[in-house]
A and B are shown apart, each in its own frame.
Chain A
Amino acid sequence: MTSPARGKAYGAGGAPYARPSRTFAPRRTRSAPFFFLVPATVLFLLFFALPIGYAVWLSFRKVRVSGLGLGAGARTEVWAGLENYTDALFDGELLDGALRVLGYGCIVVPVMLGLALVFALMLDSERVRLAPFTRLAIFLPYAVPGVIAALLWGFLYLPDVSPFHFVLDRFGLPQPDLLDGGPLFLALSNIAVWGGTGFNMIVIYTALRAVPAEVYEAAKLDGATPLQIALRIKIPMVAPSLVLTFFFSVIATLQVFNEPTTLKPLTNSVSTTWSPLMKVYQDAFGNGDIHSAAAQATLIALATLVLSFGFLRAANRRNKQEAAR
Chain B
Amino acid sequence: MRYTKHRRLVSSAMAVTLGATTLAACGSSDDGGARSGPVSLTYWTWAPGMDKVVDLWNEGPGKKEQIKVTVKKQASGDTLVTKILTAHKAGKAPDLVQAEYQALPTLVSNDALADISQDVGDAQDEFADGVWQQTTLGTDAVYAVPQDIGPMMFYYREDLFKKYGLTVPTTWDEFADTARELKKKSPETDLTTFSANDSGLFAGLAQQAGARWWSTSGDRWKVGISDGATRKVAEFWGGLVEEGAIDNQPMYTPAWNKALNTGRQIAWVSAVWAPGTLSTAAPDTEGKWAMAPLPQWSEGENRTGSWGGSSTGVTTDSGHKEAAAKFAVWLNTDGDALNALAKESGIYPASTSAQLSGAFTTPPEYFSNQPDFYEKAAEIAQTTAPSAWGPNVNVAYTAFKDAFGAAAKKKSGFVAAVEAVQRDTVADLEKQGFEVAP
Contact = CB atoms under 8 A, between A and B. Distances in A.
Interface string B200-236: 0000000000000000100111000000000000000
A268 B109 contact: no
Interface stretch (B44-52, B290-298, B339-347, B429-437): B429-437
A287 B398 contact: yes
B249 interface: yes
B416 to A, nearest CB: 15
A272 B435 contact: no
A222 B72 CA distance: 73
Contact of A271 (B139, B219, B220, B405): B405
Interface in B383-438: 391-392, 394-395, 398, 401-402, 405-406, 408-409, 428, 431-435
Contact of A71 (B79, B108, B428): B108
A164 interface: no
Contacts of B248: 268
Interface string B101-119: 0000110111100000000
Interface stretch (B153-161, B252-260, B320-328, B358-366): B252-260
A287 B394 contact: yes
Interface stretch (A120-128, A153-161, A202-210): A153-161
Contact of B250 (A67, A73, A266, A285): A266
Interface residues of B, number: 47
B81 interface: yes
A69 interface: yes
B402 A273 contact: yes
B258 A272 contact: no
B433 A268 contact: no
A158 B255 CA distance: 7
Given A65-B433, A67-B219, A71-B108, A265 B402 contact: no
B109 A285 contact: no
B255 A161 contact: yes
Given A158-B255, A161-B254, A286-B394, A65 B434 contact: yes
Contacts of A72: 111, 316
A15 interface: no
B182 interface: no
A288 interface: yes
A68 B106 CA distance: 11
Contacts of A159: 255
B143 to A, nearest CB: 9
A288 B85 contact: yes
B219 to A, nearest CB: 5
Interface string B172-214: 0000000000000000000000001100000000000000000
A37 B66 CA distance: 52
A71 B111 contact: yes
B159 to A, nearest CB: 21
Nearest to B435: A67
Given A272-B398, A287-B395, A265 B428 contact: no
B78 interface: yes
Contacts of B278: none
B82 interface: yes
Contacts of B220: 68
A272 B85 contact: no
Interface residues of A, number: 34
A287 B406 contact: no
B168 interface: no
A272 B402 contact: yes
A69 B109 contact: yes
A66 interface: yes
Contacts of A68: 109, 216, 219-221, 434
Interface in B60-102: 78-79, 81-82, 85
Contacts of B219: 67-68
Contact of B405 (A73, A268, A288): A268
Nearest to A77: B89
B283 to A, nearest CB: 15
Nearest to A284: B82
Contacts of B120: none
Interface in A279-293: 282, 284-288
Contacts of A158: 253-255
Contacts of B111: 71-75
Contacts of A75: 109-111
A211 interface: no
Interface in A211-226: none
Given A73-B111, A266-B250, A268-B196, A65 B432 contact: yes
Interface string B256-286: 0011000000000000000000000000000
Given A70-B109, A271-B406, A286-B398, 13 more contacts: A65-B433, A65-B434, A67-B219, A69-B109, A70-B139, A74-B111, A160-B254, A160-B258, A180-B409, A265-B252, A268-B408, A285-B82, A288-B394
21 contacts: A63-B432, A64-B432, A64-B433, A66-B433, A67-B219, A68-B220, A69-B109, A70-B109, A72-B316, A74-B109, A158-B254, A159-B255, A265-B250, A265-B252, A266-B250, A267-B250, A268-B196, A269-B409, A271-B402, A282-B398, A288-B106
